[in-house]
A and B are shown apart, each in its own frame.
Chain A
Amino acid sequence: MNFPLPNFLPALPEIFLLTMACVVLLVDLFLTDRSRGATYILAMASLLGVCVLIALSFSHSRILTFSDTFVRDPMADALKMGIMIAAMVSFLYAKDYLREHGMFKGEFYILGLFGVLGMMILVSAHNFLTVYLGLELLSLCMYAMVAMQRDSAIASEAAMKYFVLGAIASGMLLYGMSILYGVTGTLDLGLINERLPNVQDKILLSFGMVFLIVGIAFKLGAVPFHMWVPDVYEGAPTAVTLYLAAAPKLAAFAMLMRLLVDGMASLHGQWQDILILLAVASMAIGNIIAIAQANLKRLLAYSAISHVGYLLLGVLTGTTEGYAASMFYALTYVLMTLGAFGMIMLMSRQGFEADRLEDFKGLNERSPWFAFIMMILMFSMAGVPPFLGFWAKLSVLQALVQSTGLLWLAITAVVFSIIGAFYYLRVIKMMYFDKAEDSSALIASNDMRVVLSANGLLVLGLGLYPGLLLAFCLATIVSP
């Protein structure tokens, strides 16, 4: 047997990130606690380097390498750049928080970088094995990050729950993969898609597909596989919550696209029904239970569940417009969630988490500017025009209306989005019309102020020119 050297070039960003993660790991070992800032700078530089590498070699067509297990296409490049930016922003927001809470350790950045590497592999996967490899690399890093504050009982509990449920989900996914391997005889997603119509045993095929979707739904946090989301979001340190609420959502979207669209497009009629069920349940449970939450992190967790429901709406149409709308939605959601968790971290101080809704009371008196930023983010999450979140919802709904027989689903989505608007608007009401419990001014470093402001204004600015991001998403999805 002879192994020719594969084409390494498409995976250059991944190889660079792996090397840099190892370098950061080694450099951090020889730093003292006082010079720990170097780890942060090096980690940010690595992410920036990957971002530049991808931008310089942005692909225009689909390239397969490593025996067709790794794919590089415009969608992968766009999502990877989104992941890089999200990871960089979350590292930046997290810096002060970690310092104040005595968690400013190199391991946060090392695990973060390896997690990003896992996301990149997941985004570029073209084989069941690569999907699993990327997913596990990402998940294992996130379990460890949730457990980083090991003296905190609530964080340990969250990590334990996350780990057990994540392991079950991985098991389900692997079971589904093994069945699909059994009926098609290949692990390659492209070949599976070709061979699926010829499979004789339809029942076994559906069985495998259902297990695969259960695994994906667990990772996305769609109802009824959402139980881990609120506990993990609340229990994890806010810096970690921010990390795992933002960038991995893009990776999970990519996983959905790779497995269902690249791998099983020919079974669209079957997985559409399952996704409809997941989407409706997620929108309903997420939006209704969020109303009862007094903890902002928990509220945002339920809001994440409902947003996953809207994200599924685009994918389930099975059209290019639908996929692009979902990608637009995923990017928009990540942008908004970064800002929202950034606000919690901006308000928190040593020994004070600022994760209760009451902590936002009277924010307008303490800092009119950041109250305004938070207002933009909340309006956008609720889907109020002209903010970006509205256009994301609109494009998903448009894709639904254009495909036949899904009008009722669009109407359901609108109804639940109106229900959901209540709890976002309540935050705004608390900020502007309630009396502040403590009226101390906000303390934050300048870089955090600048980036958080830019983050909020971007949600407004891109909302004023909504065509830009959507056209970009459409362009990346169409080309393969």
Chain B
Amino acid sequence: MLENYLPVLIFICVGLLVGTVMIALGFVLAPHKPDSEKLSPYECGFEAFEDARMKFDVRYYLVAILFIIFDLEIAFLFPWAIVLKDIGLFGFLAMLVFLGILVVGFVYEWKKGALEWE
């Protein structure tokens, strides 16, 4: 059984090899003439505008969490739709219950104003 994974092992090795060889070649062949301007951090060619450690609006997290829920829902729907004929009535009803509970959650977040940005 383990030999089935041989292509994966070869792929990992080749991937590591290509990655390290490219970087090593650049390191060995490229000219090194550092000065303070080259080494200083920049943002789109300019001096850095602000500190990278800035506060994120908490609403981004809210949107991200809500996105994950409905993203996962879709991830469940695809395989379900493909085997729908085989899993019969029980499979169909189970998904309906699942979607029903999600709809309850959706109504909740909508009414609570989680979808409004301002």
Contacts and interface: CB of A to CB of B under 8 A. Distances in A.
Interface in A1-52: 1-6, 18, 22, 25-26, 29-30
B117 to A, nearest CB: 20
A2 B88 contact: yes
Nearest to A21: B104
A214 B71 CA distance: 34
Interface in A146-188: none
A3 B88 contact: yes
Interface string B100-118: 0100100110011000000
B72 interface: no
A3 B104 contact: no
* Chain A, interface SS category: loop
Nearest to A18: B101
Nearest to B111: A29
Contacts of B101: 18, 22
B60 interface: no
A262 B24 CA distance: 58
A298 to B, nearest CB: 31
A2 B108 CA distance: 35
A19 B12 CA distance: 49
Interface string B77-111: 00000010011111100000000010010011001
Contacts of A30: 111
Contact of B104 (A4, A6, A22): A22
Interface in A454-478: none
Contacts of A4: 90
B108 A29 contact: yes
Contacts of A6: 90
A5 B91 CA distance: 9
B108 A25 contact: yes
Contact of A25 (B83, B89, B104): B104
Contacts of B86: 1-2
* Chain B, interface SS category: helix
Given A22-B101, A29-B112, A3 B91 contact: yes
B102 to A, nearest CB: 11
A4 B107 CA distance: 32
Contacts of A3: 87-88, 90-91
Nearest to B105: A25
Nearest to B93: A5
Interface residues of B, number: 13
Nearest to A30: B111
Nearest to B83: A1
A26 B87 contact: no
A11 to B, nearest CB: 13
A4 B88 CA distance: 9
Residue of A6, A25, A30 with highest tally of chain B CB at under 10 A: A25
A122 B90 CA distance: 24
A1 B90 contact: no
Nearest to B87: A3
B91 A26 contact: no
Contact of B87 (A1, A18, A22): A1
B24 to A, nearest CB: 38
A26 B104 CA distance: 7
Contacts of B83: 1
A1 to B, nearest CB: 6
A6 B93 CA distance: 12
Interface string B4-21: 000000000000000000
Interface in B45-87: 83, 86-87
Interface string A112-146: 00000000000000000000000000000000000
B49 to A, nearest CB: 32
Nearest to B107: A26
A266 to B, nearest CB: 29
Contacts of B112: 29
Interface in A51-81: none
Nearest to A4: B90
Contacts of B108: 25-26, 29
Contacts of B89: 5
Report, nearest first, the 8 A-B pairs whose CB atoms are least far apart: A3-B90, A29-B111, A22-B104, A5-B90, A1-B86, A3-B87, A25-B108, A3-B91
Interface of A: 1-6, 18, 22, 25-26, 29-30
14 contacts: A1-B86, A2-B86, A2-B87, A3-B87, A3-B88, A4-B90, A5-B89, A5-B90, A6-B90, A22-B101, A25-B104, A25-B108, A26-B104, A29-B111
Given A1-B83, A2-B86, 12 more contacts: A2-B88, A3-B87, A3-B88, A4-B90, A5-B89, A5-B90, A22-B101, A22-B104, A26-B104, A26-B107, A29-B107, A30-B111
